[in-house]
Each structure stands twice: as structure tokens, then as C-alpha cells.
Structure 1
Amino acid sequence: MVAQFPYNYICIEGNIGAGKTTFCNLLREEYNCKLILEEFADNPFLPLFYKEPDRFAFTVELFFMTERHKQLQRSLLNQDLFQEFTVADYAFIKTLLFAQKNLPDDEFRLFQKMFAVLNQSFPKPDIMVYFHRNVDILLENISKRGREYEKDITAAYLTQIQNSYFEYFRNILSFPILIIDLNRINFKENKDHFEHVKYLISKPYQPGVHRISLVV
């Protein structure tokens, strides 16, 4: 039985290597939904940032913010009546969370002001789903996909990003946030895993944070 989602706009979030894009692509294969995938490969400053983060942090974050804003505005404000719902493999708040960790205080204050203006341009998600995996598993996944510019990502950096998300979640009461502890869950190779995650997302949730652990 195909699960039905009580949401029009679903954001799948998570750390680097959590499986966000993989899950969204699988969902699109099964449903007539609009798919929004982050176009991170188009950021020419990303490889430079991973090599010299202090030098290229503001440039890389500014590029990401403007490109994400342009993509979300184009996609969310031009809805297709024949598509059931929209699913994205990122939320715009990701822009601020990464910038907070990557930028010095003075640059972040400026960045925050620009973000606040752009963040008013489109609707907030009906639900945000956060795929949580232990850092050692994230590093395994990053290594497996073999992107050259990601090879210098450290466990410490992933931990900082993870902590930023959880700190943000504590203050959200306006829409539901579903944290799913996945760890060794592999929805690409195991259809049952995919169905289970999909079922959890198809349930209605009240605003605020909800957390579920899946064990294999």
C-alpha cells in the first residue's frame, strides 16, 4: 500500500552524508511529487572552502544562500496542480546553521541580516524530517561516494553541524520536526527500510520536535 502524506511541503534534512538526496530521489520514483534537490555541485567555491575554510567561508556561504533562495522561490511559488506534494533535500534554515559555524562573528552578523530578509520570500515547510546518523557512519558514507572536495571533512566539523541543528530544533514550535535515528538503515538497498521511513513521515505530527529510533 502506498503511504499518503498529509503535507504539501516536506523538507528532508540531515548532516553531510545522511542520505537526504537518496531518499528524496526514491520518493520521487514512487510519487508524482515535485522534487527540489540542492545544486551544491554548482558552487565553484566549495572545493576552495574545504581546503582554506577561513579564506573562503563567507564567499561559499553567500553563494549557497543566493542560489538556494533563487531555487526555492522559483520552485515553491510556481506550484504544479497535478503534483501531489513537494519534497526538498534541504531547508533554507540550513544556510544560517552552516554559516553560524563557518563564519567569524562580525561576518555572521552581516550574513544573518541578509538571511532574515530572504527568508520571508517563501513558505515554511509543513514538516521537517531530520535524518540522524552517528558521525562515524557519516564519514563512511562520505568516503563511499568519493567526492574529492569532501575528503578533508572531519568528525569534529560534522559534530559541530549536528549540534547546530539540534540547537535550532529546540526553539521551533511553529511546525513539526521529526528526527529519525537511522544509523545503519539503508533505504537504497533495503526496500523494507525505505517503506518504514516513508510510513513514519506519512503520519500526522503536532508542531514541535518528535524523535524516533530505527534499529536493524
Structure 2
Amino acid sequence: MFIGLAGPTGAGKTTLAHRIAERLKAHLMRDPFVDNPYLPKLYASGKTHPVALTLQVELTFLALRVAQLREIRDLLIHGTPVVADWSMAQQVVFAHTTLPPEDASRVRKTYATWSDAGARPDLLIALTAPASVLARRIAQRGRPMEAALSIAYLEHLARAFDTPLHDYASRIIRLDTSDFNAFNDEDVNALLARLPALERS
């Protein structure tokens, strides 16, 4: 099984992916954001993102994520389940929040062109949380490049993820993490209990 996660910055994707991978004895595939040299520049640019810079960010992410999807496909072929703290839904949603509509549409079409080049999640867990919760978590983890993210931007981002995501996975679970604690075994167990039912449906 391949489980992907989607959601705004600060929703808890990495923490939850780690817990699920641990419980399912799956390979954890981390978002390659640390390998994108343009991302810190984008965050530092504040409210006005230069189009050239946002395009560099999105196209770099596309290359990094397609490469990871191919790696995931190989792991699945050899019988290794995979949990990723990202999905290609991230790619398209973020493009629509940062790029002009015509460029965001081109990113979506480019993703579609490459969609058969790697694995597609069997399940996508789509996380959400209010902007105030996202901001608190971002402050707690203290990444310097995220320091300039505003409440207004996080509200916009959270709304952007509240869209149909069925193009990106066979099954979808939506999860509000404002009242979900990924460090609480009962919460994680309740989520995992929903997986077999999805596999049989």
C-alpha cells in the first residue's frame, strides 16, 4: 500500500506520516523541500512572490517529486509499503496559491503528463486545521524560512486544500488535525482502523 498525505504548512503531515509508517512498518518518504534551493527565497519574499521565483520553486519540486514517485514505485514492486508526508496534490494546490492562473494550469498539465511515471497513492490523507493552529505549530518548530508566513497566507492556503482531491489518489480521508493528536495512540489507532474498510470498498 502507498499512503500519501496532503495539507497546508503546519497541518502535521510529517508527524502523522512518521507515526503511520512506524505502525505499518512502512518506508517513510519525506517531502524533498530541503532539496529545493528556491523555497527559502520564496518564503522570504513576503506577500509579493516574483513569478520567476515561484515558477522555479514549483518546477524544481515537480522534478524532485517525480523522482521520488519512481523510487516509491520500485519499493512497492518489491513488496515494501510506503507512507509519504506529501503527495502530488501538494504540487498543484501550492502552484494555484503562488502562480498566475495560466502558469498554475501549466503546472497541473505538466503533472498530468508525468502522472504515469511513478506510483499513485492508494490512499490520500488530507489534513486541515485553522490558520491559528497552523501558525502556532509553525512557530513551535522554528524553521527560519517559515518565519515570514502570515496568518492571511495560511488562511488562504488552508482554503486552497479544501478542494476535491480525487485526481491524486484512489481513496481520500479528510482529517481535521486541530483536535487530532498524532502523538496520542488512541487517535492514531482510530485513524488506522479506517484503513481496512477503505481497502475493501
Bin for the TM-score computed over the shorter chain: 0.7 to 0.9
Aligned to 1:139: 135
State TM-score, norm by structure 1: 0.80
Aligned to 2:33: 40
Unaligned runs of 5+ in 2: none
1:29 counterpart SS class: helix
For 1:163, the aligned partner's letter is R
Distance 2:169 2:65 in 1: 22
Work out whether residues 187 and 193 of structure 1, in 8 Å CA contact, stay in contact via their aligned partners in 2: yes
Distance 2:4 2:116 in 1: 17
The answer on 1:102 being equivalent to 2:98 is: yes
Instruction: Provide the aligned C-alpha RMSD in A.
Output: 2.4
Change (3 A) 1:144 1:173: closer
Could you give the per-residue CA deviations for residues 8-52 of structure 1, whole angstroms, max 9, x where no partner exists? 111122211111111111223333212211121121111100122
Higher helix share: 2
Aligned to 1:157: 153
2:149 counterpart SS class: coil
The answer on 1:184 being equivalent to 2:176 is: no
For 2:137, the aligned partner's letter is N
Deviation at 1:79, TM superposition (A): 2.6
Could you give the per-residue CA deviations for residues 53-106 of structure 1, whole angstroms, max 9, x where no partner exists? 2252111111111101111112223436453x2211111121111111111134
Distance 1:173 1:96 in 2: 10
Q: Which moved more, 1:155-164 or 1:85-94?
A: 155-164
The answer on 1:195 being equivalent to 2:189 is: yes
1:183 counterpart SS class: helix
2:193 counterpart SS class: helix
Aligned to 1:71: 68
1:101 counterpart SS class: helix
Distance 2:164 2:198 in 1: 22
The percentage of counterpart residues that share the same residue type is: 24
Unaligned runs of 5+ in 1: 1-7, 208-216
State TM-score, norm by structure 2: 0.86
Q: Which moved more, 1:64-73 or 1:171-180?
A: 171-180
Work out whether residues 176 and 206 of structure 1, in 8 Å CA contact, stay in contact via their aligned partners in 2: no
Work out whether residues 11 and 87 of structure 1, in 8 Å CA contact, stay in contact via their aligned partners in 2: yes
